[in-house]
Amino acid sequence: MVWFTEYQTENVGLTIRAKEVKTIKSKYQEIIVLDTQEFGKVLVLDGAIQTTEKDEFMYHEMLVHPALVKHPNPQRVLIIGGGDGGSVREALKHKTVEEVHLCEIDEEVIFVSEKYFPSISSKLRDPKVKIFIEDGNHFLEERKNYYDVIIMDSSDPIGPAEVLFQEKFYKKVKESLKENGIMVAQTESPFLQEEYFKNAVKEIKKVFKYVGIYTGFVPTYPAGMWSYTIASDDINVLENVNEEKLEEIETRYLDKELYKSLFAIPKFVKELVNE
């Protein structure tokens, strides 16, 4: 048995005891797979926990389904990041989806996920899925007015991923969306990562007309409180429409009642957004 600690801030860490540890060096980062008693297998990239077998559904459902439910007819979906495959799996639960593009910069993350996380990566080789091993920032430059929904399943805004949280990048996202297009991004913890959260929301608001922020619980993420920001220029994403779609898909976290109260966020989060 070994103890692994993710240092979520300079002063806060999450420690998990692992039965086994596997380390893989990719071209871009250090990939660690922990086999734990409490969370099952855990995927760690450069020291930061990305997903676990036990709580991944909480994150992936909240990231993917609100945007796909709010869009009247989502057919083409792009996921930037998300090499573990969880967002792909959730997107394919929507019967209107005909095509899912996954843009992941590190191919090794996909290989590791397919080997060690089969329940999460199970749909990566689905006929509707096409995988691109590319930088998401450059990928969008070649695809204009193409996607109905774009999902930003990126890692923390540090190093190569930093550009994915800036106004210039969100403008590329907007240009790649079709009419009535919707984008959604994970925007960090509003409790332990206030500056990352505020900056991401601010940059998105510069680009899109309608913007909504919602939160969810993910036990292994900083403070357990995670934020998501959804945006569109044509659809008022703050309206909770098409809720009956949720009855057509299998979920464990998000249901109609939670969807109806999606934007009921804590007062301190509202204050952060309005600063």
Neighbours of 257 (CB within 10 A): 9
> What is the 3-class SS of 158-170, one letter each residue?
CHHHHHHHCHHHH
Residue closest to 163 by CA, chosen among 182, 136, 184: 136
What's the gap between Cα 17 and its chain centre?
A: 26
Q: Name the active-site residue from 55, 84, 106, 153.
A: 153
**E-state strands within the chain:** 2-7, 13-25, 30-36, 40-45, 48-52, 76-81, 99-103, 129-132, 147-153, 177-186, 210-217, 225-232
Q: How far apart are CA 75 and CA 219, in angstroms?
A: 32
3-class secondary structure, 271: helix
Q: How far apart are CA 134 and CA 132, in angstroms?
A: 6
Residue 153 annotated to the active site: yes
Active site residues: 153
